[in-house]
Structure 1
């Protein structure tokens, strides 16, 4: 299927690794020019080299979106973009209500929510003027169905989802859409290594193939029975970024394998 992205320009924040890298590389494979963003220039350059090796094109911008000045620099360096994927963020799975200060909540909100707001303020007015654009927030399933752990992360993602919906109302009848994608777990190289070690310690198996279904049943069961792969999340992002999704706005698309917060019987 042709997603009609050739000639579009996209900024994907936090795309020097993980899900952001997958989104950037798929966008480039569909013909978009991609602005690879990160805080480590070497890592961002490596992603760009991979894109170019596959026949794609793009540029690199480096900057801290956690400050007004840093976000302004990134927006200026990126220039006019048609697609903004606000992916940059972080999570702390080991944190809970008992060890989180108010400053911890403020810190994660600044990075996971306000970094998106800053870039929206810089880049979306141009989309509105040109009559076409796509704004996509990467949220999380825990923003819809919070657990007891990492409540600050869940709250920040609920805010990301609400931000996407509110922005859609603001941009009605402009040709610019606003949506969010809410993944569950994502199997990256780092998460597979960490989860394999956890599974071995818990006696869930010795190899990842053995550990994955047991880990899911114990911690985050879903109907698919495995953790989502980055390209599966990225594919949903690409669809929302494409002209084909012009009638979808103000939504949060769950891509979580049918995750449910109830231990399997």
Structure 2
């Protein structure tokens, strides 16, 4: 009996894919500019870390060749790399020798309003909280249901992003961004050892801060740390840095550390 999709026979190449069945895989969303994949080394390193933790085989050299070739054809836009454990029989047990499946999907460059980066944004207080799972913390695995639920909480264009807390009420990240605070000139970002996604731009920003002589710290942050910060901003490899101007009853101005890092990142992402 052949399986069906939307009332029609299903492509045999997808009917047993564990990424589709269980979210058993990882993904990377790579900005492409002038035929070049931006921050590719960092994207591939994060994927390799995820594959090691999930025990999925990974050939980085092959992936790099494929992504670069795909980006050259795409020219401008976003290349989404889906990397699954491949096919499996019914049941959760992974195959002893998985044959991974690699998908590259193209989409246009996101058209975010320039005002988000210049003037800053308002941050929505999401009720959906991130589950604690240290084994998956930091990884960009294929199960993003928490983010889907959180993003469905608001429709108003007054908010460009939402803040997600963990089960203990600590700020972790935006729905599709990483979170940074500036307190007395010192850069701070939440530890991601229990939940959250370790964004590639987050790692780059920590490196750039060190090069610029800006002290930085990765640690568990309380909501009071956020509310008492001098500057707050979000980052993502697609849009760079967005200053945060408002969250709940708290308000901030766009500060000098945010602007300095924004300038450094923009030079790299252009």
User: What TM-score do you get using the length of structure 2 for normalisation?
Assistant: 0.27
Q: Which has a greater percent of helix? A: 1
Q: Which has a greater percent of strand? A: 2
Structure of larger gyration radius: 2
